[in-house]
Copies of this chain bind each other. A is one copy, B any other.
Amino acid sequence: MPEKESAELSIIRLLKDAGGESVSGGDLSRLLGISRTAVWKHVKALRKAGYVVTACPSKGYSLSFEAKSSPMPFNAIEINSGLETAFVGKKIFFYPELDSTNAKAARLARDGADEGTVVIADFQSAGKGRIGRKWESPAGVNLYTSIILRPGIAPFDAQKLTIVMAVAVAEAIEKYCKKRPVVKWPNDILIASKKVAGILMEMDAEADHVNFIVAGIGVNINMNLSEMPPDIRRIATSLSEAFGQEISRIEFTRTLYSCVEKWYKKFSENGFPFVLTAWRSFFASEGKRVIVKGFNRTVEGICAGVDATGALLLRVDSGKVERIISGDVDHAGGV
């Protein structure tokens, strides 16, 4: 985390601990080991982020909790302070605007960022979907986050982690939504046949060893679909649309990180078959007729589930079962 963000996090924690009472600038300066001028600069930044911090010359600084009736600002401080994970999201790089959280996370990972480090952007100017597609990333409403993982696996096994992430995202969504989400192989989460979340796994690897994986997760949280262009409206939904009310992005983000950590640990400790069982409970394509558009060919058949590596199985019309490791699945008639 940038040093500046750490100091702000400390100030907010100290002011919250004071329960509305004032903390003197001198105390903050001493506790943080920074100058009183620096404290003042951080307070200004906190106000800009949406906190109501009162400065009283004789007493010091105090935090007003009145603003709590309106949503708390969506930032690293709020997400971090209520987070219950051991490593996912313990370091948050938060940006009001980024080209792509995956691109930023990859740069951080190459520079040695720890496993569990996350990047969040309120807005992405070049949000990435799979195979060079765009991910619609308006500001102020959704979650765009990328998580750095160092799983010590071979590239051979990378597709398994897509399945792990899909279970984690589906479980987080289920906690906020009365409708059970559906996973579309390999990496989309749907509600009522419309995309509510997507996962973009990118890796940096040697031929036999993954250096790091960046798990990019985009979740449509409070996006107002009526404001989106028709081609997006046709295929996408949001949690607020499905749930019928606004959802706290801060709380959803914390929940998501908890779910990611939980399933990532289960993958390491209990193995992939355990995760796959959970994944199948969100999977609705089995037994249905699907069309899979791959990089080189299109295959149609009855979905026969997924195999032990996470590959899609398709019973084609000749009766043969084909194993698909990449492609886009279209359901004949929706899921």
Which residues of A does B touch, CB under 8 Å? 130-131, 152, 154-156, 158-159, 161-162, 186-187, 200-209, 295-296, 325-327
Q: A207–B156 contact, CB under 8 A?
A: no
Q: A205–B205 contact, CB under 8 A?
A: yes
A202-B204, A204-B204, A325-B154 are contacts. A209–B161 as well, Cβ < 8 Å? no
Q: Could you tell me the distance in whole angstroms from the C-beta of A10 to the nearest C-beta in chain B?
A: 35
Chain A binding surface SS class:
mixed
Between A155, A156, A326, the greatest number of chain B beta carbons within 10 A of the residue's beta carbon is seen for A155
Q: A203–B200 contact, CB under 8 A?
A: no
Q: Give chain B residues whose Cβ lies under 8 Å from the Cβ of A155.
A: 155-156, 158-159, 203, 205
Q: Could you tell me the distance in whole angstroms from the C-beta of A210 to the nearest C-beta in chain B?
A: 9
For the complex with contacts A154-B326, A186-B207, 9 further pairs of A-B residues with Cβ separation under 8 Å are A130-B206, A131-B206, A152-B296, A155-B158, A155-B159, A155-B205, A156-B156, A162-B208, A209-B295
Q: Give chain B residues whose Cβ lies under 8 Å from the Cβ of A156.
A: 155-156, 159, 325
Could you jot down 5 A-B contacts, CB within 8 Å? A130-B206, A154-B326, A155-B159, A156-B159, A203-B207
Q: Could you tell me the distance in whole angstroms from the C-beta of A51 to the nearest C-beta in chain B?
A: 38
Please, how many angstroms separate the alpha-carbon atoms of A65 and B134 in the complex?
55
Q: Give chain B residues whose Cβ lies under 8 Å from the Cβ of A186.
A: 207-208
Please, how many angstroms separate the alpha-carbon atoms of A247 and B19 in the complex?
77
Q: Give chain B residues whose Cβ lies under 8 Å from the Cβ of A202.
A: 204-206
Which chain B residue lies CB-closest to A152? B295
Q: B158–A207 contact, CB under 8 A?
A: yes
Q: Could you tell me the distance in whole angstroms from the C-beta of A99 to the nearest C-beta in chain B?
A: 13
Q: Give chain B residues whose Cβ lies under 8 Å from the Cβ of A206.
A: 130-131, 200-203
Q: What is the copy number of this chain in the assembly?
A: 2
Q: Give chain B residues whose Cβ lies under 8 Å from the Cβ of A187.
A: 207
Q: Could you tell me the distance in whole angstroms from the C-beta of A324 to the nearest C-beta in chain B?
A: 9
Which chain B residue lies CB-closest to A205? B203
A152-B295, A156-B155, A326-B154 are contacts. A201–B209 as well, Cβ < 8 Å? no
Q: B201–A162 contact, CB under 8 A?
A: no
Partner of A159, one of B162, B208, B326: B208
Q: Give chain B residues whose Cβ lies under 8 Å from the Cβ of A325.
A: 154, 156, 208
Q: Give chain B residues whose Cβ lies under 8 Å from the Cβ of A162.
A: 207-208
Q: Could you tell me the distance in whole angstroms from the C-beta of A295 to the nearest C-beta in chain B?
A: 6
Between A201, A206, A295, A325, the greatest number of chain B beta carbons within 10 A of the residue's beta carbon is seen for A206
The 4 residue pairs across chains A and B that have the minimum distance between CB atoms: A208-B326, A155-B155, A201-B207, A162-B207
Which chain B residue lies CB-closest to A131? B209
Partner of A158, one of B152, B205, B296, B326: B205
Q: A159–B207 contact, CB under 8 A?
A: yes
Please, how many angstroms separate the alpha-carbon atoms of A154 and B326 in the complex?
8
Which chain B residue lies CB-closest to A213? B207
